[in-house]
Amino acid sequence: MSELDVAVRILDSRLPGWGFPRWGSSLAAGLDLHACLDAPAILAPQGPPLLIPAGFALAIRDSRWCAMVYPRSGLGHREGLVLGNTVGVIDADYEGPLMISAWNRNPPGHAPVTVQPGERIAQLVFTRVARPSLRVVDAFPEAEDGARGVGGFGSTGRG
């Protein structure tokens, strides 16, 4: 048995026929998420994102874990289909329907992206959550030699 047991409730009866739930390969990190649409959805370049039902709900119920929705790399690279919120976080206490925020990142003038019913458009990755104790201070102690300190973007050089 896995160290995490997650209950999955199928909300769209077409999902099992599309192969859900499954990982694309034996070593894949992400569980394939399908577009549970009744008709194709057309996403215009740089248009508003569209919430697409994933067709299921899950119950993680363990505060040491969460799930994260990521785009499928090939669709993002080749077709411009990414997530409108870059990454979706599914907290351990959320048990409602999973939704995928799909967005066409291509610039105006490019072809729209069409999402077909049942198409695998995103992936769900389960990951551990660290919940450290937070301590409010007025100032930080002196940093060790070589520590980055307050240097921001590019402060460590390029490459």
* Domain ranges within the chain, ordered by starting residue: 7-128
Lowest mean pLDDT among 1-10, 41-50, 121-130: 1-10
Average pLDDT over residues 30-54: 97
- The model's pTM is 0.86
Instruction: Please report the pLDDT score of residue 159 as a whole number.
Output: 60
Lowest mean pLDDT among 45-59, 60-74, 141-155: 141-155
For 34, residues 6+ apart whose C-beta sits below 8 A from its C-beta are 15, 18, 20, 54, 55, 118, 119, 120, 121
How far is 56 from 54, CA to CA, in rounded Å?
A: 6
Instruction: Please report the pLDDT score of residue 142 as a whole number.
Output: 82
Decide if pLDDT at 151 tops 80. Answer: no
Tens digit of each residue's pLDDT (9 = 90 or more) over 59-87: 999 999 999 999 998 888 898 999 998 89
Instruction: Please report the pLDDT score of residue 34 as a whole number.
Output: 98
Side-chain-side CA neighbours of residue 33 (13 Å): 30
Give the CATH fold of the 7-128 domain: Deoxyuridine 5'-Triphosphate Nucleotidohydrolase; Chain A (2.70.40)
Tens digit of each residue's pLDDT (9 = 90 or more) over 103-122: 999 999 999 999 999 999 99
Side-chain-side CA neighbours of residue 63 (13 Å): 3
* Confidence class for position 53, pLDDT limits 50, 70, 90: very high
Decide if pLDDT at 145 tops 80. Answer: no
Instruction: Please report the pLDDT score of residue 95 as a whole number.
Output: 98
Decide if pLDDT at 150 tops 90. Answer: no
Average pLDDT over residues 42-52: 96
